[in-house]
Amino acid sequence: MLRRLLTRLYAHLLELYPYRFADEFGGEMADVFTQTLAGLDDSGPQIISMRLTMIRLFLREVWDFPHTYLNARRYHVSLGDGESPAGSVSYGEGEVTGTWAGRRTPWPAVILGALPFLLFGLAYLIEGITELGGHYGPVFDLLEGRFLAAPPYDPVIALTPPIAVYVVSVLGLFLGILKGFPRWSFAYLGMSVYFGGYYNNGTFINVDYGLGAWMPLIAAVLLGLLLNRSQKPLARLRQGAWNDWTRLSFSIYAFALPITSIIFFDDTDWGVYQLYGLVFDTVLFAAGAAAFLRLRTIFGRALALLAPVLILVGKGVLGGSWEGQFWPMMMFLTFYICFLFVPAAIGPLRQLSADS
């Protein structure tokens, strides 16, 4: 009775470990613990002593759990999204394991991967609602700690909804570096690159950021590498892109999302219907990201990234909003598809490398 109870409790303890560690070592750990208990006879004259020994063995496992869990967590992080550890793989050589490319992203990571798309739409939705109320903004002055009422603005260190999304994107990238560039982190990489280039090439609130717009992105990368005390995150980035080219396409998807939204959604004349359209587009792109992260096959992931733009094309054609612009939009769609799937060239390169 006691042996069965302790075995069940130990099985629940194993469930607390990161799933890839538990998948690989959990069965062996459970067998060792069960066999150790089986070697103790709790039905003889020393029944009390044997049962105390069983309890002591279980409590020892509980005592060692925090240390073992930290080691398991490091192992889990080294695998990223299920690949082999970065240090044991030579890029361009060998085959992807059967469980690697087809591993489904857990729901918490899916939510994390869809978050930047939701925040991007929310940022411009806030700006649109504000403009409908007759204001430009909102603009929060970080130095004075207040919202600025109306333009023209003096040069200030300010926080706007898009800048807030840039900050979140950089923080997400930083977290992704610490975790070894899992699949969801490629969205933050793409959106961080977009915002860095966007603010580098213009003047916003009377401030010309210039190359300084790239500083948050550069700081996140350098700090992430510094805390890892190695270049393994970059190795994980290369390995992830080499073994699954759709990861780079996911970054391009996040990078091209703002450009796509501008083309398919004209924000120069705000109105209620435009706000509805922005909400639709936001949910659509976030759903595409979530589908990408949950699907197991390369083809399914590629289709998940392509479907949102195809739906927007259908909406534009059927809604009549493309009158006189059909062929320019078709040219954009062709360019978008080619740009999105440029990383697909990695597949043949990888095959050539394996054959040689």
Tens-place pLDDT, residues 116-127: 999 998 988 887
Neighbouring CB atoms inside 10 A of 50's CB total: 19
**Higher-pLDDT residue of 242, 254:** 254
287, two tokens? 């759903």
In this predicted structure, the answer to whether residue 236 has a pLDDT above a threshold of 50 is: yes
Backbone dihedral angles phi then psi of residue 141, each to the nearest 5 degrees: -80, 110
Query: 3-state DSSP call for residue 7?
Result: helix
How many angstroms separate the CA atoms of 321 and 336, rounded?
20
What type of residue is 104?
Answer: R
In this predicted structure, the answer to whether residue 91 has a pLDDT above a threshold of 80 is: no
Q: Cβ-count burial of 143 within 10 angstroms (0-12 exposed, 13-18 middle, 19+ buried)?
A: exposed
What does the pLDDT look like over 202-222, one tens digit per residue?
Answer: 777 667 788 889 999 999 999
Query: 3-state DSSP call for residue 158?
Result: strand
In this predicted structure, the answer to whether residue 201 has a pLDDT above a threshold of 90 is: no
pLDDT of residue 203: 72
Q: Tell me the mean pLDDT in the region 100-123.
A: 86
pLDDT of residue 82: 45
Least confident range of 163-172, 225-234, 318-327? 318-327
Query: 3-state DSSP call for residue 170?
Result: helix
What type of residue is 219?
Answer: A
- Where are the domains positioned within the chain? 2-79, 107-355
pLDDT of residue 342: 92
Q: What is the pTM of this model?
A: 0.71
DSSP class of 154: P
| 180: alpha, beta or left? (left if phi > 0; alpha if psi -120 to 50) | left
Neighbouring CB atoms inside 10 A of 20's CB total: 19
Say what percent of the chain tops pLDDT 70: 76
Question: Would you place residue 154 in the very low, low, confident or very high pLDDT band (cuts 50, 70, 90)?
Answer: low
pLDDT of residue 115: 96
pLDDT of residue 338: 92
In this predicted structure, the answer to whether residue 173 has a pLDDT above a threshold of 80 is: yes
How many angstroms separate the CA atoms of 212 and 111, rounded?
30
What type of residue is 94?
Answer: G
CA distances (Å), 70 to each of 222, 226, 232, 236, 326, in order?
24, 20, 19, 20, 56
